[in-house]
């Protein structure tokens, strides 16, 4: 299992744009990677979002070996994970992204499955 260390610029732009479009509700999806690079976001049917949380219906996820973690937005400027976020990180995937308002290239952070902040190089 290869460590995820990069994110495709188009995938990041999609995340930030979807987060802006969803504001003031949270946006959520599943990250997909090829090799060491996050390439896509999978949107799951039945995802519920509000201004306080987003609920991914993980039972709706297809069997997908490229799934590597989750992404969601925070409608505040705080990109730190909550207790609920940390519980999700521990159970589902290796890399997780939180995009915070104002949803630009400086307002997102990536975390490993333990909730430790990690660096993802933007490529492409």
Instruction: Assign 53 a pLDDT band (cuts: 50, 70, 90).
Output: confident
CATH label of the domain that carries residue 79: 3.40.140.10
- Domain-located, residue 122: no
How confident is the model over 106-113, as a mean pLDDT?
98
Q: Is the pTM of this model over 0.75?
A: yes
Instruction: Assign 62 a pLDDT band (cuts: 50, 70, 90).
Output: confident
- Domain-located, residue 121: no
- Domain-located, residue 123: no
Tokens of 18: 């979807």
The domain of 78 spans 6-116
Residue 9 CB-half CA count within 13 A: 2
Find the catalytic residue in 10, 26, 40, 105.
26
Per-residue model confidence (pLDDT) at position 72? 97
Count the domains in the chain. 1
Instruction: Assign 1 a pLDDT band (cuts: 50, 70, 90).
Output: low
Give catalytic status of residue 117 as yes or no: no
Please tell me what DSSP assigns to residue 67. Answer: E
Tokens of 99: 């995009």
How confident is the model over 5-28, as a mean pLDDT?
98
């Amino acid at each position: 299992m290869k460590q995820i260390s990069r994110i495709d610029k188009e995938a990041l732009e999609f995340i930030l744009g979807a987060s802006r479009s969803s504001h003031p509700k949270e946006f959520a999806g599943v990250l997909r990677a090829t090799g060491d690079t996050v390439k896509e976001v999978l949107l799951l049917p039945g995802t519920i979002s509000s201004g306080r949380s987003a609920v991914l219906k993980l039972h709706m996820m297809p069997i997908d070996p490229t799934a590597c973690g989750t992404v969601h937005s925070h409608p505040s400027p705080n990109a730190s994970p909550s207790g609920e976020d940390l519980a999700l990180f521990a159970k589902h995937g290796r890399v997780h992204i939180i995009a915070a308002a104002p949803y630009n290239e400086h307002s997102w952070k990536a975390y490993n499955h333990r909730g430790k902040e990690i660096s993802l190089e933007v490529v492409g």
